[in-house]
Amino acid sequence: MGISLPIDFETRMRGQLGAEYESYVTALEAPMPTSIRLNPHKNSALANTNDMVSWEPQGRYLAERPVFTLDPLLHAGAYYVQEASSMFAGYALRQIIGNETNIRILDLCAAPGGKSTHYASLIGDKGLLVCNEVISNRVPTLCENLTKWGCPNAVVTNNDPSDFGRLGGFFDVVAVDAPCSGEGMFRRDAVAVSEWSVANTRICAQRQQRIVADVWDALKPGGYLIYSTCTFCPDEDENLMSWIASEFGAENIAIDIKPEWNITPIEKDGCVGYRFIQHKTRGEGFFCCVFRKNDGSSASSKKLKNKIVPVPQKLIPRLQEMTVGTGFEYYLKNDTAIAVPQAIATDVLTIADSLTVRKMGTAIAHIFGDKLAPEHDLALSWALNRQAFNAIELPLPDALRYLHRDNVFVADAAAGFNLVTYNNLPLGWIKNIGNRWNNLYPQNWKIRMNVE
Protein backbone atom coordinates (compact mmCIF):
# COMPACT_ATOMS: atom_id res chain seq x y z
CA MET A 1 0.00 0.00 0.00
CA GLY A 2 1.09 3.58 -0.58
CA ILE A 3 0.68 4.74 3.02
CA SER A 4 2.64 2.89 5.68
CA LEU A 5 0.55 3.30 8.82
CA PRO A 6 2.17 3.21 12.28
CA ILE A 7 1.63 -0.17 13.96
CA ASP A 8 0.09 1.33 17.13
CA PHE A 9 -2.30 3.39 15.02
CA GLU A 10 -3.29 0.36 12.95
CA THR A 11 -3.92 -1.71 16.07
CA ARG A 12 -6.14 0.94 17.63
CA MET A 13 -8.07 1.62 14.40
CA ARG A 14 -8.76 -2.10 13.94
CA GLY A 15 -10.34 -2.01 17.37
CA GLN A 16 -12.35 1.14 16.58
CA LEU A 17 -13.57 0.09 13.14
CA GLY A 18 -13.75 -3.69 13.45
CA ALA A 19 -14.82 -5.28 10.16
CA GLU A 20 -14.75 -1.87 8.46
CA TYR A 21 -11.00 -1.45 8.89
CA GLU A 22 -10.02 -2.91 5.51
CA SER A 23 -12.52 -0.62 3.78
CA TYR A 24 -10.93 2.33 5.57
CA VAL A 25 -7.44 1.32 4.42
CA THR A 26 -8.68 0.90 0.85
CA ALA A 27 -10.17 4.40 0.98
CA LEU A 28 -6.77 5.81 1.93
CA GLU A 29 -5.46 4.50 -1.39
CA ALA A 30 -8.25 6.15 -3.39
CA PRO A 31 -7.89 9.63 -4.94
CA MET A 32 -8.65 12.39 -2.46
CA PRO A 33 -11.74 14.44 -3.35
CA THR A 34 -11.20 18.12 -4.16
CA SER A 35 -13.75 20.52 -2.75
CA ILE A 36 -14.26 24.27 -2.56
CA ARG A 37 -16.68 26.54 -0.73
CA LEU A 38 -18.14 29.48 -2.63
CA ASN A 39 -18.24 33.04 -1.36
CA PRO A 40 -21.95 34.01 -1.41
CA HIS A 41 -20.98 37.68 -1.78
CA LYS A 42 -18.91 37.10 -4.92
CA ASN A 43 -20.86 35.47 -7.72
CA SER A 44 -18.94 32.98 -9.82
CA ALA A 45 -19.69 30.50 -12.59
CA LEU A 46 -18.44 27.85 -10.17
CA ALA A 47 -21.82 28.15 -8.45
CA ASN A 48 -23.25 26.20 -11.38
CA THR A 49 -21.20 23.12 -10.51
CA ASN A 50 -23.79 20.45 -9.73
CA ASP A 51 -21.67 18.17 -7.52
CA MET A 52 -22.60 19.69 -4.17
CA VAL A 53 -21.39 18.98 -0.66
CA SER A 54 -24.48 17.61 1.08
CA TRP A 55 -24.12 19.49 4.36
CA GLU A 56 -22.99 22.82 2.89
CA PRO A 57 -25.08 24.78 0.33
CA GLN A 58 -21.99 26.64 -0.90
CA GLY A 59 -19.78 23.54 -1.01
CA ARG A 60 -18.82 22.01 -4.35
CA TYR A 61 -16.75 18.99 -5.38
CA LEU A 62 -14.54 19.41 -8.43
CA ALA A 63 -14.01 16.61 -10.95
CA GLU A 64 -10.26 17.14 -10.76
CA ARG A 65 -7.84 19.33 -8.87
CA PRO A 66 -6.80 22.33 -10.97
CA VAL A 67 -3.75 24.51 -10.43
CA PHE A 68 -5.58 26.86 -8.09
CA THR A 69 -2.72 29.36 -8.08
CA LEU A 70 -3.43 30.07 -11.76
CA ASP A 71 -7.12 30.84 -11.20
CA PRO A 72 -7.70 34.57 -10.62
CA LEU A 73 -11.06 33.74 -9.02
CA LEU A 74 -9.21 32.21 -6.08
CA HIS A 75 -7.22 35.42 -5.60
CA ALA A 76 -10.44 37.42 -5.90
CA GLY A 77 -11.94 35.47 -2.99
CA ALA A 78 -14.69 33.88 -5.08
CA TYR A 79 -14.11 30.61 -3.27
CA TYR A 80 -11.96 28.93 -0.64
CA VAL A 81 -10.33 25.54 -1.17
CA GLN A 82 -11.65 23.66 1.85
CA GLU A 83 -11.90 20.02 2.74
CA ALA A 84 -15.56 18.95 2.56
CA SER A 85 -15.80 17.24 5.95
CA SER A 86 -14.60 20.35 7.78
CA MET A 87 -17.48 22.35 6.27
CA PHE A 88 -19.67 20.54 8.81
CA ALA A 89 -18.55 23.07 11.44
CA GLY A 90 -20.45 25.73 9.48
CA TYR A 91 -23.45 23.41 9.29
CA ALA A 92 -23.35 23.09 13.07
CA LEU A 93 -23.14 26.86 13.46
CA ARG A 94 -26.22 27.39 11.27
CA GLN A 95 -28.19 24.99 13.43
CA ILE A 96 -27.34 26.65 16.73
CA ILE A 97 -27.69 30.31 15.72
CA GLY A 98 -30.64 29.96 13.34
CA ASN A 99 -31.76 33.40 12.20
CA GLU A 100 -30.25 35.29 15.13
CA THR A 101 -28.33 38.49 14.45
CA ASN A 102 -25.81 40.41 16.57
CA ILE A 103 -23.91 37.18 17.19
CA ARG A 104 -20.38 37.40 18.59
CA ILE A 105 -18.25 34.47 17.40
CA LEU A 106 -14.69 33.57 18.36
CA ASP A 107 -12.76 31.23 16.07
CA LEU A 108 -10.01 30.48 18.54
CA CYS A 109 -7.55 28.44 16.43
CA ALA A 110 -8.25 30.12 13.13
CA ALA A 111 -5.26 29.93 10.74
CA PRO A 112 -5.17 29.48 7.82
CA GLY A 113 -8.80 30.66 7.76
CA GLY A 114 -11.00 27.99 6.20
CA LYS A 115 -13.56 27.89 8.99
CA SER A 116 -13.18 31.62 9.64
CA THR A 117 -14.22 32.49 6.10
CA HIS A 118 -17.09 30.04 6.48
CA TYR A 119 -18.31 31.68 9.69
CA ALA A 120 -17.89 35.09 8.06
CA SER A 121 -20.45 34.08 5.43
CA LEU A 122 -22.98 33.16 8.11
CA ILE A 123 -22.97 36.00 10.65
CA GLY A 124 -24.83 38.65 8.65
CA ASP A 125 -23.98 42.35 8.59
CA LYS A 126 -24.52 42.86 12.35
CA GLY A 127 -22.44 39.98 13.66
CA LEU A 128 -18.87 40.05 14.95
CA LEU A 129 -16.27 37.44 14.07
CA VAL A 130 -13.00 37.34 16.00
CA CYS A 131 -10.40 35.11 14.38
CA ASN A 132 -7.49 34.26 16.64
CA GLU A 133 -4.17 32.59 15.93
CA VAL A 134 -1.61 32.08 18.68
CA ILE A 135 1.36 31.38 16.36
CA SER A 136 2.55 34.74 15.05
CA ASN A 137 3.99 33.57 11.74
CA ARG A 138 0.63 32.04 10.77
CA VAL A 139 -1.26 35.31 11.28
CA PRO A 140 -0.35 36.90 7.90
CA THR A 141 -1.91 33.98 6.00
CA LEU A 142 -5.05 34.25 8.11
CA CYS A 143 -5.24 37.99 7.41
CA GLU A 144 -4.69 37.43 3.69
CA ASN A 145 -7.45 34.84 3.42
CA LEU A 146 -9.92 37.00 5.35
CA THR A 147 -9.02 40.01 3.22
CA LYS A 148 -9.69 38.05 0.03
CA TRP A 149 -13.00 36.81 1.46
CA GLY A 150 -14.01 40.42 2.01
CA CYS A 151 -15.97 40.39 5.28
CA PRO A 152 -15.84 43.81 7.01
CA ASN A 153 -17.16 42.34 10.29
CA ALA A 154 -14.01 40.38 11.13
CA VAL A 155 -11.15 41.02 13.55
CA VAL A 156 -7.89 39.06 13.64
CA THR A 157 -6.11 38.66 16.96
CA ASN A 158 -2.79 37.09 17.96
CA ASN A 159 -3.30 35.86 21.51
CA ASP A 160 -2.98 32.85 23.75
CA PRO A 161 -6.36 31.27 24.59
CA SER A 162 -5.91 32.30 28.23
CA ASP A 163 -5.93 35.97 27.20
CA PHE A 164 -9.61 35.73 26.32
CA GLY A 165 -10.40 35.42 30.02
CA ARG A 166 -10.23 39.24 29.97
CA LEU A 167 -13.50 39.10 28.02
CA GLY A 168 -15.61 37.14 30.47
CA GLY A 169 -19.00 36.12 29.06
CA PHE A 170 -18.41 38.06 25.84
CA PHE A 171 -19.00 35.51 23.05
CA ASP A 172 -22.19 33.79 21.93
CA VAL A 173 -20.20 31.08 20.14
CA VAL A 174 -16.64 29.87 20.59
CA ALA A 175 -15.30 27.54 17.90
CA VAL A 176 -12.24 25.49 18.81
CA ASP A 177 -10.76 23.63 15.85
CA ALA A 178 -8.18 22.15 18.12
CA PRO A 179 -4.57 21.36 17.18
CA CYS A 180 -4.54 17.56 17.00
CA SER A 181 -2.60 14.48 15.93
CA GLY A 182 -3.96 14.79 12.39
CA GLU A 183 -4.98 11.17 11.89
CA GLY A 184 -7.83 12.18 9.63
CA MET A 185 -5.38 13.79 7.22
CA PHE A 186 -3.08 10.82 6.66
CA ARG A 187 -4.25 10.48 3.05
CA ARG A 188 -3.07 13.98 2.19
CA ASP A 189 -0.30 14.69 4.67
CA ALA A 190 2.72 12.40 4.86
CA VAL A 191 4.21 14.55 7.62
CA ALA A 192 1.20 13.79 9.86
CA VAL A 193 1.93 10.07 9.40
CA SER A 194 5.64 10.42 10.15
CA GLU A 195 5.04 12.52 13.28
CA TRP A 196 2.31 10.31 14.75
CA SER A 197 2.86 8.48 18.02
CA VAL A 198 0.76 7.38 20.98
CA ALA A 199 2.71 9.82 23.14
CA ASN A 200 1.86 12.68 20.77
CA THR A 201 -1.87 11.91 20.88
CA ARG A 202 -1.71 12.19 24.66
CA ILE A 203 0.12 15.49 24.44
CA CYS A 204 -2.51 16.74 22.00
CA ALA A 205 -5.34 15.70 24.32
CA GLN A 206 -3.75 17.57 27.23
CA ARG A 207 -3.26 20.64 25.06
CA GLN A 208 -6.88 20.48 23.91
CA GLN A 209 -8.11 20.38 27.49
CA ARG A 210 -6.00 23.41 28.35
CA ILE A 211 -7.29 25.35 25.33
CA VAL A 212 -10.94 24.67 26.15
CA ALA A 213 -10.43 25.42 29.84
CA ASP A 214 -8.60 28.67 29.09
CA VAL A 215 -11.32 30.02 26.80
CA TRP A 216 -14.38 28.74 28.65
CA ASP A 217 -14.92 31.91 30.71
CA ALA A 218 -15.09 33.99 27.51
CA LEU A 219 -18.29 32.14 26.53
CA LYS A 220 -21.49 33.69 27.85
CA PRO A 221 -24.11 31.65 29.74
CA GLY A 222 -26.32 30.00 27.15
CA GLY A 223 -23.55 30.30 24.56
CA TYR A 224 -22.23 27.46 22.44
CA LEU A 225 -18.90 25.73 22.05
CA ILE A 226 -18.16 24.06 18.70
CA TYR A 227 -15.28 21.65 19.24
CA SER A 228 -13.64 19.91 16.29
CA THR A 229 -10.53 17.99 15.30
CA CYS A 230 -9.19 16.18 12.23
CA THR A 231 -8.34 13.00 14.13
CA PHE A 232 -9.95 9.69 15.07
CA CYS A 233 -8.19 9.38 18.42
CA PRO A 234 -10.71 8.78 21.26
CA ASP A 235 -8.59 10.75 23.74
CA GLU A 236 -8.84 13.80 21.46
CA ASP A 237 -12.47 13.23 20.40
CA GLU A 238 -15.07 11.34 22.42
CA ASN A 239 -13.07 11.24 25.65
CA LEU A 240 -12.40 14.96 25.34
CA MET A 241 -16.12 15.47 24.64
CA SER A 242 -16.99 13.57 27.82
CA TRP A 243 -14.44 15.65 29.75
CA ILE A 244 -16.05 18.93 28.58
CA ALA A 245 -19.43 17.78 29.83
CA SER A 246 -18.17 16.66 33.24
CA GLU A 247 -15.61 19.43 33.80
CA PHE A 248 -17.92 22.36 33.02
CA GLY A 249 -21.39 20.90 33.46
CA ALA A 250 -21.95 21.68 29.78
CA GLU A 251 -25.00 20.46 27.90
CA ASN A 252 -24.20 18.40 24.82
CA ILE A 253 -26.25 19.49 21.79
CA ALA A 254 -27.33 16.99 19.13
CA ILE A 255 -27.04 18.10 15.50
CA ASP A 256 -29.53 16.94 12.88
CA ILE A 257 -27.87 14.83 10.20
CA LYS A 258 -29.26 12.78 7.32
CA PRO A 259 -28.57 9.04 7.04
CA GLU A 260 -27.43 9.32 3.43
CA TRP A 261 -24.52 11.56 4.49
CA ASN A 262 -22.91 8.52 6.18
CA ILE A 263 -21.66 10.55 9.10
CA THR A 264 -20.92 8.33 12.11
CA PRO A 265 -22.47 9.46 15.42
CA ILE A 266 -20.10 8.76 18.32
CA GLU A 267 -21.67 8.42 21.77
CA LYS A 268 -19.86 8.62 25.07
CA ASP A 269 -21.28 9.15 28.58
CA GLY A 270 -24.55 10.59 27.28
CA CYS A 271 -22.86 12.89 24.76
CA VAL A 272 -22.82 12.62 20.98
CA GLY A 273 -20.27 13.82 18.45
CA TYR A 274 -20.00 13.31 14.71
CA ARG A 275 -17.16 11.52 12.95
CA PHE A 276 -16.30 11.60 9.25
CA ILE A 277 -14.33 8.57 8.02
CA GLN A 278 -12.91 8.33 4.52
CA HIS A 279 -14.54 5.02 3.55
CA LYS A 280 -17.99 6.29 4.50
CA THR A 281 -18.09 10.04 3.85
CA ARG A 282 -16.77 11.92 0.85
CA GLY A 283 -14.01 13.83 2.53
CA GLU A 284 -11.18 13.47 5.01
CA GLY A 285 -11.29 12.47 8.66
CA PHE A 286 -13.07 14.92 10.97
CA PHE A 287 -14.83 15.06 14.33
CA CYS A 288 -17.23 17.69 15.65
CA CYS A 289 -19.41 18.15 18.73
CA VAL A 290 -21.38 21.03 20.23
CA PHE A 291 -22.04 22.11 23.82
CA ARG A 292 -24.15 24.78 25.51
CA LYS A 293 -22.75 26.59 28.55
CA ASN A 294 -25.27 26.63 31.38
CA ASP A 295 -23.68 28.91 33.96
CA GLY A 296 -21.18 31.70 34.43
CA SER A 297 -21.28 35.47 34.16
CA SER A 298 -22.31 37.66 31.25
CA ALA A 299 -19.99 40.32 29.87
CA SER A 300 -19.94 43.56 31.79
CA SER A 301 -19.35 46.92 30.18
CA LYS A 302 -16.09 48.65 30.91
CA LYS A 303 -14.58 52.00 30.18
CA LEU A 304 -12.58 51.93 26.96
CA LYS A 305 -9.02 53.22 26.87
CA ASN A 306 -9.51 54.79 23.44
CA LYS A 307 -6.38 53.19 22.00
CA ILE A 308 -7.82 53.71 18.50
CA VAL A 309 -8.59 57.23 17.34
CA PRO A 310 -11.23 58.33 14.82
CA VAL A 311 -10.38 59.61 11.36
CA PRO A 312 -10.40 63.42 11.02
CA GLN A 313 -13.96 64.52 10.38
CA LYS A 314 -13.09 66.34 7.15
CA LEU A 315 -12.06 63.04 5.49
CA ILE A 316 -15.18 61.05 6.39
CA PRO A 317 -17.38 62.20 3.45
CA ARG A 318 -14.74 61.00 1.00
CA LEU A 319 -14.37 57.70 2.81
CA GLN A 320 -18.14 57.25 2.79
CA GLU A 321 -18.12 57.65 -0.98
CA MET A 322 -15.75 54.69 -1.21
CA THR A 323 -17.95 52.32 0.83
CA VAL A 324 -21.46 50.91 0.61
CA GLY A 325 -23.82 48.93 2.80
CA THR A 326 -24.05 49.18 6.56
CA GLY A 327 -22.99 52.48 8.11
CA PHE A 328 -19.39 52.56 9.24
CA GLU A 329 -17.26 54.16 11.89
CA TYR A 330 -13.86 55.23 10.57
CA TYR A 331 -10.71 54.87 12.63
CA LEU A 332 -7.09 55.81 12.05
CA LYS A 333 -4.20 53.37 12.43
CA ASN A 334 -0.71 54.00 11.07
CA ASP A 335 -2.04 56.65 8.64
CA THR A 336 -4.63 54.18 7.32
CA ALA A 337 -8.37 54.78 7.52
CA ILE A 338 -10.20 51.66 8.70
CA ALA A 339 -13.96 51.15 8.37
CA VAL A 340 -15.77 49.17 11.07
CA PRO A 341 -19.53 48.51 10.81
CA GLN A 342 -21.38 50.71 13.28
CA ALA A 343 -23.30 47.70 14.62
CA ILE A 344 -20.09 46.17 16.04
CA ALA A 345 -17.91 49.24 16.55
CA THR A 346 -18.11 49.23 20.35
CA ASP A 347 -17.36 45.50 20.44
CA VAL A 348 -14.35 45.95 18.17
CA LEU A 349 -12.97 48.71 20.38
CA THR A 350 -13.45 46.42 23.39
CA ILE A 351 -11.47 43.71 21.60
CA ALA A 352 -8.74 46.21 20.71
CA ASP A 353 -8.51 47.30 24.34
CA SER A 354 -8.15 43.73 25.60
CA LEU A 355 -6.19 41.82 22.96
CA THR A 356 -3.47 42.08 20.31
CA VAL A 357 -5.33 43.03 17.14
CA ARG A 358 -3.59 42.36 13.83
CA LYS A 359 -6.49 43.27 11.53
CA MET A 360 -9.93 44.77 12.02
CA GLY A 361 -12.74 45.81 9.70
CA THR A 362 -11.72 47.00 6.23
CA ALA A 363 -8.65 49.12 5.55
CA ILE A 364 -10.11 51.77 3.22
CA ALA A 365 -7.34 54.15 2.30
CA HIS A 366 -3.86 55.32 3.20
CA ILE A 367 -3.87 59.00 4.09
CA PHE A 368 -1.26 61.40 2.70
CA GLY A 369 -2.24 64.77 4.07
CA ASP A 370 -5.52 65.47 2.28
CA LYS A 371 -4.98 62.72 -0.31
CA LEU A 372 -6.40 59.19 -0.11
CA ALA A 373 -4.88 56.11 -1.75
CA PRO A 374 -7.29 53.14 -1.73
CA GLU A 375 -6.06 50.08 0.14
CA HIS A 376 -5.97 46.59 -1.34
CA ASP A 377 -8.29 45.51 1.47
CA LEU A 378 -11.00 47.78 0.08
CA ALA A 379 -10.76 46.34 -3.43
CA LEU A 380 -11.73 42.88 -2.16
CA SER A 381 -14.19 43.95 0.54
CA TRP A 382 -17.95 43.53 0.45
CA ALA A 383 -17.98 47.17 1.55
CA LEU A 384 -16.44 48.48 -1.69
CA ASN A 385 -18.49 51.05 -3.60
CA ARG A 386 -17.58 50.02 -7.12
CA GLN A 387 -19.31 53.07 -8.57
CA ALA A 388 -16.66 55.29 -7.02
CA PHE A 389 -13.87 53.88 -9.22
CA ASN A 390 -13.16 53.24 -12.85
CA ALA A 391 -13.04 49.46 -13.39
CA ILE A 392 -10.80 47.70 -15.90
CA GLU A 393 -11.74 44.15 -16.86
CA LEU A 394 -8.74 41.97 -17.73
CA PRO A 395 -8.72 38.76 -19.76
CA LEU A 396 -7.13 35.70 -18.17
CA PRO A 397 -3.55 36.19 -19.48
CA ASP A 398 -3.43 39.82 -18.32
CA ALA A 399 -5.10 38.97 -15.01
CA LEU A 400 -2.40 36.42 -14.29
CA ARG A 401 0.32 38.89 -15.25
CA TYR A 402 -1.27 41.41 -12.91
CA LEU A 403 -1.28 38.85 -10.07
CA HIS A 404 2.34 38.06 -10.95
CA ARG A 405 2.93 41.77 -10.37
CA ASP A 406 4.11 42.39 -13.92
CA ASN A 407 3.44 45.63 -15.75
CA VAL A 408 0.10 45.40 -17.51
CA PHE A 409 -0.71 47.82 -20.32
CA VAL A 410 -4.27 49.11 -20.00
CA ALA A 411 -5.32 51.44 -22.78
CA ASP A 412 -8.53 52.71 -21.18
CA ALA A 413 -7.20 53.37 -17.67
CA ALA A 414 -8.42 56.64 -16.20
CA ALA A 415 -5.97 58.95 -14.51
CA GLY A 416 -5.26 57.90 -10.94
CA PHE A 417 -6.48 54.71 -9.28
CA ASN A 418 -8.32 52.06 -11.30
CA LEU A 419 -10.01 48.91 -10.03
CA VAL A 420 -8.73 45.78 -11.79
CA THR A 421 -11.34 43.02 -12.28
CA TYR A 422 -11.53 39.53 -13.72
CA ASN A 423 -14.92 38.01 -14.55
CA ASN A 424 -16.27 41.20 -12.97
CA LEU A 425 -14.67 40.41 -9.60
CA PRO A 426 -12.10 42.86 -8.18
CA LEU A 427 -8.47 41.77 -7.93
CA GLY A 428 -6.83 45.01 -6.80
CA TRP A 429 -5.63 48.39 -8.07
CA ILE A 430 -3.46 49.93 -10.73
CA LYS A 431 -2.53 53.60 -10.84
CA ASN A 432 -2.27 55.53 -14.08
CA ILE A 433 0.32 58.27 -13.55
CA GLY A 434 0.40 59.36 -17.17
CA ASN A 435 3.51 57.78 -18.59
CA ARG A 436 3.03 54.36 -16.98
CA TRP A 437 0.64 52.16 -15.04
CA ASN A 438 1.79 51.13 -11.57
CA ASN A 439 0.78 47.64 -10.48
CA LEU A 440 -0.33 47.98 -6.84
CA TYR A 441 -0.94 44.29 -6.11
CA PRO A 442 0.67 43.42 -2.73
CA GLN A 443 4.25 42.32 -3.23
CA ASN A 444 4.06 39.50 -0.69
CA TRP A 445 0.87 38.06 -2.26
CA LYS A 446 2.07 37.87 -5.84
CA ILE A 447 2.03 34.63 -7.84
CA ARG A 448 5.57 33.28 -7.90
CA MET A 449 5.19 30.50 -10.43
CA ASN A 450 5.44 31.08 -14.17
CA VAL A 451 2.19 32.48 -15.58
CA GLU A 452 3.08 32.55 -19.28
Active site residue ranges: 230
Query: What backbone phi and psi angles, to 5 degrees, belong to 82?
Result: -135, 140
Nearest to 89 by CA among 278, 287, 222, 281: 287
Give Cα separations from 189 to 3, 182, 201, 281, 307 (angstroms): 10, 9, 17, 18, 43
CB within 8 Å of 135: residues ≥ 6 apart = 111
Q: Is the dihedral of CA 112, 115, 120, 126 positive or negative?
A: negative
- Helix, strand, or coil here: 449? coil
The single-letter DSSP state of residue 210 is H
State how beta strands 336-341 and 362-368 pair: antiparallel
Cα separation, 35 vs 58, whole angstroms: 10
For the sheet with 59-62, list strands across it: 59-62, 34-38, 79-81
Q: What does the alpha-carbon distance between residue 209 and residue 232 come to, in Å, rounded to a whole number? A: 16
Q: How would DSSP label each residue in 140-195?
A: HHHHHHHHHHT-TTEEEE---GGGGGGGTT-EEEEEEE-----GGGTTT-HHHHHH
